[in-house]
């Protein structure tokens, strides 16, 4: 259990390091953006415990105007970079895997995918997205408790799914727009239908666009 917890903690740190793009970036990261990036390799409860432990140990810190957004600290960066050079470490293996994935996907930022709007994969992705949007619109509880948040998430979903109506799409752009909001909904509504619909929607998008 202790080893597994260390691997989860290290993987969270590595994903934050990777998403920040440049070490010492001031960019903050919402924890709910990470579970999907980690491809479901840990449970939500285990993930949350690891986040709290990393913050307590000074590897990450709460920053920005939102209370649940974090940035990787200098100590966290040092931990990641030290382990990336250690052949025996979990992070070294993870880094080699990520580099291999990127080489097979490069140049990621400029890669486009031609979409066949008649394919089963495309229909599944669109239908899954529409299901999430309709579920949000139908949720009176969400509308009453946090109408501004619901409207924001609806806007993000509608903007993201408009992108895949084109004949060609940049997967990186889709991931930037839809990855975060679907991860957010999957976590916020983890025990409700909306959460499950968000997970399905993300899975179908990854299948359609070859997103890692």
Pick the more confident residue, 40 or 107.
Answer: 40
Tokens in use for 200? 């399905």
- pLDDT for residue 41: 59
Between 126 and 12, name the one with better pLDDT.
126
167-185 per-position pLDDT tens digit? 888 787 787 778 888 888 9
Q: Is the peptide bond before 107 cis (omega within 30 degrees of 0)?
A: yes
Which helix (DSSP H) or strand (DSSP E) does residue 70 occupy?
strand 70-72
**Is the pLDDT assigned to residue 22 strictly greater than 70?**
no
C-alpha 138: how far from chain center? 25
Task: Give the CA-trace dihedral at 19, 20, 22, 27, to 10 degrees.
Answer: 160
**Tally of CA atoms within 13 A in the half-sphere of 3 that contains its CB:** 2
Contact by Cβ (8 Å): 133, 154: yes
Going by pLDDT thresholds of 50, 70 and 90, the confidence category of residue 105 is: very low
pLDDT at residue number 75: 84
**Vertex 97: Cα angle to 109 and 50 (nearest 5):** 95
Q: Which of 28, 34, 30, 27 is nearest to 11 (CA)?
A: 34
Q: Which fold has domain 2-106?
A: Arc Repressor Mutant, subunit A (1.10.10)
- Quick one: CA dihedral 132, 136, 138, 141, positive or negative? positive
> Each residue of 42-65: pLDDT tens digit?
666 777 788 888 889 988 887 655
Task: Give the Cα separation of 185 and 196 in Å (integer).
Answer: 9
Residue 69 has pLDDT above 90, yes or no: no
Q: What percent of the chain has pLDDT above 90? A: 25
Confidence at residue 43, expressed as pLDDT on a 0 to 100 scale: 66
Higher-confidence position of 30 and 143: 143
Cβ neighbours of residue 49 closer than 8 Å, sequence gap 6 or more: 5
The percent of residues in the chain predicted with pLDDT above 70, rounded, is: 76
Q: Which residues, in sequence order, are CB contacts of 198 under 8 Å at separation 6+? A: 132, 182, 183, 185, 186, 189
Give the helix/strand (H/E) hosting 20.
Answer: none
Q: Is 11 helix (H, G, I), strand (E, B) or coil?
A: helix
* Other beta carbons within 10 Å of 71: 18
Q: Is the dihedral of CA 188, 194, 199, 201 positive or negative?
A: negative
pLDDT at 32 over 50: yes
Query: Does residue 139 register a pLDDT over 60?
Result: yes
Average pLDDT taken over every residue of the chain: 79
Residue 119 pLDDT > 90, yes or no? yes
Instruction: Give pLDDT, residue 170.
Output: 79
Give the domain ranges of the chain.
Answer: 2-106, 109-209
pLDDT at 67: 53
pTM of the model: 0.53
Q: Is the pLDDT of residue 106 over 50?
A: no
């Amino acid at each position: 259990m202790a080893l597994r917890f260390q691997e989860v903690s290290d993987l969270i740190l590595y994903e934050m390091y990777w998403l920040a793009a440049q070490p010492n970036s001031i960019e903050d990261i919402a924890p709910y953006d990470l579970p999907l990036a980690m491809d479901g390799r840990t449970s939500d409860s285990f993930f949350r415990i690891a986040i709290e432990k990393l913050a307590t140990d000074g590897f990450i810190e709460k920053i920005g105007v939102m209370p649940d957004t974090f940035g990787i600290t200098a100590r966290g960066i040092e931990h990641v970079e030290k382990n990336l050079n250690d052949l025996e470490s979990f992070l070294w293996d993870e880094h080699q895997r990520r580099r291999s994935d990127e080489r097979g996907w490069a140049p990621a930022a400029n890669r486009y995918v031609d979409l066949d709007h008649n394919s089963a994969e495309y229909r599944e992705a669109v239908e899954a997205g529409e299901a999430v949007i309709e579920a949000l619109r139908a949720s009176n509880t969400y509308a009453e408790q946090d109408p501004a948040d619901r409207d924001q998430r609806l806007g993000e979903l509608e903007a993201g799914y408009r992108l895949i109506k084109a004949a060609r799409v940049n997967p990186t752009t889709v991931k930037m727009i839809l990855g975060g909001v679907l991860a957010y909904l999957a976590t916020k509504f983890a025990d409700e239908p909306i959460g499950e619909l968000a997970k399905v929607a993300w899975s179908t998008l990854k299948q359609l666009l070859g997103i890692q």
